[in-house]
Amino acid sequence: MRALAVVTSSLFDQIEDHNKHLICIDNLEIPLAFIEGSFPEFNEESEQYANSVLVKKTSFSLNYRDLGVIENAWQKLKSAEIDTFYPIGSDFAGHVIAIGKNVSSLSVGDLVIGNCFYPEPENGAMPGIPSNHASKEYEIYHYGKLIKVPPYLSGVEAGALGIGTQTANAMVRKANIKKGDNVLVTSVTSNTSYFLLNALWNLECNVYGLSYSGKNTETVREHFPFIKEIFSVNEKNIPNTILFDAVLDSFSDTYLEYLIPNLNLNARYLTCGIFNQSLDKIKNVKPTNLTLLIANLMMRNISFIGNCLGTTDDLVTGLEFYKTKKLLVDSVFTDENSLSDFVTKSYNLDSDKFGKVIYEYSKIEEEAEV
């Protein structure tokens, strides 16, 4: 069973170059590698697995949140005296190959992705992301943490859209966008923003974008022709005549203070993440005058809304979008490609990457016995 993992240095040295990569996170070089792990035990008749499902992955992708998982795993593994590893990944697609005796909502052969409903539990399952180890080729899940993939999506592209779709549609729902509202999407070239723009596609509002550097914005405008204008933080070119009624922001520690003067009365500011997630970035972050920040929000009656993931309905609604539109996929990698190429493409923010980067597991003729 294959998996992409953070590995100890001693194990890294034993793996061929094609299947390993040193990822740089601030001042750290962290060893990643494809490893062979043990096939999970799964007894379809036992009480232990009565509500569980065994899934064979067809694809997975790396998200920004995985960088934090990678760093935290390395902090625990770097001093280990044995060869060991920590599988990573949070978005995946796969086929059900076995089900527990209480499972009736899924069948063997179903193509599924993770259901990251939050914050309330559903179907006896805990809320949140189903796994931090989603690159594992075989993995056991509670049936309530999975949802069937509609037939208009493939097993490759489905491995890149779960978390982004669920998060984006939750944010747009909470933003309570009205006809004619001015809506700003920050970090407009990021993957999260692509999902946000998909969710805004058919709403009767004025959509604007904001990029920090201003790079690659023309490509975004070509794909999302409804965007009225894309502004740049570096160019400081947001007109004083435009005030935003809703802001959908992936990195609030980058944009919130900067955008306050451009927010309308009673605006809604929604965010799903922060940029400074690594320990080094957190240590060196510029202090914020919290009193002034809150005072500015109060003077405009601005609602600041933090968003973590979304509901099952948000995910189902978001998947319906792909009946008529295609997922933005930059590239698909397989075991014929080097791991370094996949990881570099996934996280190289300075490249011409446009869309999700996906790893597809090649089919193996003889599957392991369950």
Q: What is the per-residue pLDDT across 53-64, written as a single tens digit (0 to 9) for each?
A: 999 999 999 999
Judged against a pLDDT cut of 60, whether residue 4 lies above it is answered with yes
Q: Same CATH topology for 2-161+327-360 and 176-306? A: no
Helix axes 312-320, 191-200, angle to 10 degrees: 80
In this structure, the dihedral spanned by the alpha carbons of residues 56, 59, 64 and 66, taken in order and rounded to 10 degrees, is: 30
Q: How confident is the model at residue 366 (pLDDT cuts 50, 70, 90)?
A: very low
3 state SS for 155-189: CCHHHHCHHHHHHHHHHHHHHCCCCCCEEEECCCC
**Ranges 54-58, 207-211, 316-320, 365-369: which has the least confidence:** 365-369
Residue 125 is given by DSSP the state B
Work out the pLDDT band at 341, boundaries 50, 70, 90. very high
Letter string b/e over residues 190-211, b meaning 16 or more CB atoms within 10 A of that residue's CB: bbbbbbbbbbbeebebbbbbbb
CB 28 within 8 A of CB 71: yes
* Residue whose entry in the numeric block shows the structure tokens 């999506």: 153
Dist CA 2 CA 35 (whole Å): 6
Omega within 30 of 0 (cis) for the link into 119: yes
CA dist., res. 297 & res. 75, Å (int): 37
Q: Count the Cβ atoms, other than its own, within 10 Å of residue 314.
A: 24
CA count, 13 A, side-chain hemisphere, 148: 10
Q: Does the domain at residues 2-161+327-360 carry the CATH identifier 3.90.180.10?
A: yes
Contacts of 29 (CB under 8 A, 6+ apart): 22, 23
CATH superfamily membership of 176-306: NAD(P)-binding Rossmann-like Domain (3.40.50.720)
Please check whether residue 90 is in contact with residue 131, taking contact to mean a CB–CB distance below 8 angstroms. Answer: yes
User: Which two structure tokens, joined as six digits, stand for 340?
Assistant: 């370094």
Residue 129: predicted pLDDT:
95
Residue among 363, 361, 359 nearest 63 (CA): 359
Number of other CB atoms surrounding residue 325 within 10 Å: 10
Indicate the DSSP class of residue 122: B
Residue 146 has pLDDT above 50, yes or no: yes
SS3 204: coil
Please determine, for residue 116, whether its predicted confidence score (pLDDT) is greater than 90. Answer: yes
Among 246, 185, 235, CA closest to 210: 185
Distance CA 149, CA 319 (A): 8
CA distance 118 to 264: 30
* Lowest mean pLDDT segment, chosen from 211-215, 237-241, 245-249, 283-287: 283-287
Residue 367: per-residue pLDDT: 44
Average pLDDT over residues 106-129: 95
Per domain, the residue ranges of the chain are 2-161+327-360, 176-306
This prediction has a pTM of: 0.91
Q: Cα(39)–Cα(258) distance, rounded to whole angstroms?
A: 50
Mean pLDDT on 251-263: 89
**How would you class 335 by CB atoms within 10 Å of its CB: exposed for 0-12, middle for 13-18, buried for 19 or more?**
middle
Do residues 124 and 72 lie in contact, with contact meaning Cβ atoms separated by under 8 Å?
no
User: In sequence order, what are the residues at sequence separation of 6 or more whose Cβ sits closer than 8 angstroms to the Cβ of residue 122?
Assistant: 115, 144, 312
- Within 10 angstroms of residue 3's Cβ, the number of other Cβ atoms is 23
Across the range 253-272, mean pLDDT stands at 92
State the burial class of residue 11 (Cβ atoms within 10 Å of its Cβ: 0-12, 13-18, 19+): buried
